[in-house]
Structure formats: C-alpha cells, structure tokens
Amino acid sequence: MGKTTTSASFATGLAQAGHRTAVVDFDVGLRNLDLIMGVERRVVYDFVNVIHGDASLKQALIKDKRVDGLYILPASQTRDKDALSHEGVGRVLSELAAEFDYVICDSPAGIERGALMAAYFADEAIVVTNPEVSSVRDSDRILGILASKTQRAERGDSPMPGRLLLTRYAPARVIKGEMLSVDDVLEILAIDMLGVIPESLSVLNASNAGLPVILDDDSDAGQAYQDAVARFLGDERPHRFMSVPKKGLLERLLGG
C-alpha cells in the first residue's frame, strides 16, 4: 500500500526539481492516480486509448496546474486487462522517454499483467513496501521478477537497480512488536533503502484534497518524500521519522 501515493509525490518532486516528468497509471480498471493528483475532472483520453491509437499522447497527457513540467497519463476505466499489450506499452513508453526526463510507472498490486508491464521496460525500480511480513514477501517476489522477467534481464544487461521505500512506518508499533522494523525489512530484502515514509494522517488529507502529499511542507510524510526524491537525485540526507517522536512537556503532562 502506498504505491500510487508514492508515484504522485515522486513525480511531483522530480518536476519541482526541474525535470520534465510524466506519471503513468498502470492500474487499468481502478484509476486512482488522477484522483490523488487532483486531475480526475480533466480526464478525456487514457493510456489504453493511446495504445489503441484512438488518441495521441499529446491529447491524453494532462498537464499539472501546480507544478511545471509535470504530466499525468491516466489509466482506463475499462476492465480489459489485455488492453495493455506488450508492444503497445513499449511504444507509448518509448514515446514518453523521448519527451521526458523521467517517466514514473505506477504499478498495480500483485504480479499480474499490469504490474509486469509497469516493470518490464523500466530502467530502475522503487519498491514500495509496508512493514508487514506479507508485504515484504510480495516485494521480494517483485524483486525476483525485476531480476528475471524484465527487458533489462532478458537482454542480459546489468541487474535493474531497485531501492526500497518503506511506507506507512509507525515506530511506536514497531516498538510494541506489531510491525517489522526498518532493519528487519532490510535484512530480508537485502537492497538499498531510499527512504522511510511515516504513517501519517496528512496522506489521507492530502489525497482527499487531490494534492500529492509532497506539496504539504508541514507534514512529516511530505518531508519524508522530499528527502527521498532528493536522495534519488543524488543528495545525501539522513534518514528521519524512524523513531518515536519525543513528546512535548504539555503532551506528557496530559498523558497524550
């Protein structure tokens, strides 16, 4: 959980840093990204329309009104999974790659067609994981697929760099033993870590407002995404939000 939230914030952060960025929703049938990006009322054409040639990329891409150089390609509402043909996805993505500095593919859950297609043409992966055994297991499976069933792997190129983004992290629950710790997850997955995003109410508020949470400078999750994007672009930033925040005197007195 947190893939679409992450895709929206990451794409926004990259565009804010001056990179032309497109974010593509691969979750055919669910269509969440446009809601989180707050552009759901401006959708005319979608990814599948472009694949079928019913619309050009230019017609389907929605320009973000808040951040320059940021574009959204929404998913189709139709439930036809086969619409994401290998050849069609490849063609649209290479067209996007020619036009943009970064193309973010928002993968659906699981290892079905949509997820496989989102990963197949990628140069790099950000694996979004929650600190739970089942989520970590799924991520491990995805990492296996990235290493074996992608274009990079089939061509025998060097393995796809994959980095971990641990999200919905609640240090207080880790201490109680209800959640895996950062170290537990890293030990199991054995990959580099891009960042930890805390469990935060601000995420829900932001998505209800159609605002990628990274634009909420006051929120912990927003700041954590800003750090993660900066690290992705090569900055070194210390990891934050990994321990229980110290309570203020008043809170302690009130037993909050």
Partner 1 sequence: MTAEVRTLAALEFKGRMITVTVLRVLEPTLSVLARDLDRRLAEAPELLRGLPTLLDLDAVSASLDSLDICGLVRLLLERGITPIGVRSPSAQMSALAKKGGLLAITSDGTDVIRRFAESKVQMTAAPVTPAKSPALLITHPVRSGQQVYAPEGDLIITSSVSAGAEILADGHVHVYGPLRGRVMAGLRGDTSARIFALHLDPELVAIAGNYRISEYIEDRERGDNMQVYLHGESLKIEKIKS
Interface residue list for ligand ADP (CB under 6 A): 1-5, 32, 109, 167-168, 197, 199-200, 203-204, 207, 221
Q: How far is the CB of 156 from Mg ion (least distance, A)?
A: 31
Output the smallest distance, CB 170 to ligand ADP, in A. 9
Which of the listed partners (Mg ion, ligand ADP, partner 1, none) does 188 bind, with a CB threshold of 5 to 8 Å by partner kind?
partner 1
Widest pairwise Cα distance in the chain: 64
Q: Closest CB to partner 1 among 35 and 145? A: 145
Nearer to partner 1, 142 or 182 (CB): 142
| CB nearer partner 1, residue 147 or residue 170 | 147
Nearer to ligand ADP by Cβ, of 4 and 76: the residue is 4
> From Mg ion, partner 1, ligand ADP, none, which one binds at residue 190 (CB under 5 to 8 Å depending on kind)?
partner 1
CB of 32 to ligand ADP, least distance (A): 5
End-to-end CA distance of the chain: 28
Residue 106 φ then ψ, to 5°: -85, 110
The contact set with Mg ion (CB under 5 A) reads: 3-4, 32
E strand or H helix at 11: helix 3-16
Which residues, including other chains, have CB under 8 Å from residue 161's CB and lie 6 or more apart? 124, 125
123 and 172 Cβ atoms separated by less than 8 Å:
no
- Find which of ligand ADP, Mg ion, partner 1, none residue 152 binds, CB within 5 to 8 Å per kind: none
Contact residues toward partner 1 (CB under 8 A) are 111, 137, 140-141, 143-145, 147-148, 159, 187-188, 190
Q: Are strands 62-63 and 21-25 parallel, antiparallel or unpaired?
A: unpaired
C-alpha distances in Å from residue 233, one per residue of 14, 104, 117: 8, 14, 25
Task: Identify what 144 binds: partner 1, ligand ADP, Mg ion, none; CB under 5 to 8 Å per kind.
Answer: partner 1
- CB 189 to partner 1: min, Å: 8
| Backbone phi and psi for residue 11, each to the nearest 5 degrees, phi listed first | -60, -45
The secondary element (H helix, E strand) that includes residue 70 is strand 70-73
- Spatial CB neighbours of 163, under 8 Å, sequence gap ≥ 6: 124, 125, 126, 127, 191, 192, 193, 194, 232
At its nearest, how many Å lie between ligand ADP and the CB of residue 103? Answer: 17
Q: Which does 203 bind (CB under 5 to 8 A by kind): Mg ion, partner 1, ligand ADP, none?
A: ligand ADP
- How many CB atoms neighbour CB 210 within 10 A? 15
